[in-house]
Structure 1
Amino acid sequence: MNIVIIDYGAGNIKSLQFAIERLGFNAALSSNEEEIKTADKVIFPGVGHADSAMKMLKETGLDKLIPTLKQPVLGICLGMQLLCTTSEEGNTKGLGIFNVDVKRFSNTLKVPQMGWNTISNLQSDLFKGISENEFMYLVHSYYAPICDETIAMTDYDGGYSSALQKDNFYGVQFHPEKSSVAGEKTLKNFLTI
């Protein structure tokens, strides 16, 4: 299987690559349009600031490429948020796959939300074999509200989308590569979709 992790300078991609290797697969890091287009599975990670990450995507033309992909695509953390319509972080226009605007957590909360929290209301093959209220590892200050494309939610001063899906696009707010057995199971489920 040909797996490509999009490399655009905004991701903790080595730990993701190692997690995929532990599952018995190899993943190439690439920003090459042809390699990404011809991959069987594409993973779109992201760590950092939405505005600067979007600028890096635009510089490489990946902002035009990603929405046209037909194979399964998994956005992780900031990668998921960039697949949304907009983000309050830097007042950033996203790629518009998921029809939801990313918001900042209220200042009444501890921000960023960092550490383990549960996912529930699981509604996708992405979570096959994963229990309701399984713990996943999260680090983020911005979130996607509950919407029509929500396939899992997390409670942090009210519910938000910890996973989204539309057609061949999936997104998870948590870091599967840092979420122990359940996170690796989520990655494996994605790779077998």
Structure 2
Amino acid sequence: MLESFSFKETLTCFMVLFAVIDILGSVPIIVSLRKQFGHIDAERASIVSGALMIVFLFVGKEMLKFIGIDVNSFAIAGALVIFIIALEMILGIEIHKVENVKAASIVPIAFPLVAGAGTLTTTLSLRAEFHVVNIILGILLNTILVYIVLKSANFLEEKIGDATLMIFKKVFGIILLAISIKLFTANFAQLFSSYVHF
């Protein structure tokens, strides 16, 4: 496995996943969750999100096939979740309510914020182009970055004012909305195409 290591491939996998995860773009959401829950379990969220990506890399397609779901349908479901999160950010409304939760970790940070449908389907597409060891290294590097950002939530909350946070939240909400629409249309087109040919 080590003989397949490539710095270039690892860097490419890291950058692709970094763009999809967009943890820096999610800073307004993280600060908002920090205010809502009072505490973010950075270690747990990072470990779970990293583990989800690695597990899905190996068994994702087989797992979806086993329960009768194709990758395109999975991506569309993820796009709808991202769409709802984006609407919350843009309109300042609360659709997804979490009760009796003392810390934000697994939901919604590990899934769907970090290891969401877009990220998981991306790991499957990376496997078709790159060696597994380089994809895993790319995932681990992103997991470390996610941990650093989550751990800095208190610092970020102090440095980002409410007015700035609100502006960032609206802007990133629109970006997230665009990503969800792109993810939905691309996968819906493929799904529709497969049914037509069938």
TM range (shorter): under 0.3
Q: When you count strand as a share of all residues, which structure comes out higher?
A: 1
Q: When you count helix as a share of all residues, which structure comes out higher?
A: 2
Give me the TM-score of the superposition, normalised by structure 1. Answer: 0.26
Instruction: Determine which structure has greater relative contact order: mean sequence separation of CA pairs < 8 Å that are 6+ residues apart, divided by chain length.
Output: 2
Higher alpha-carbon Rg: 2
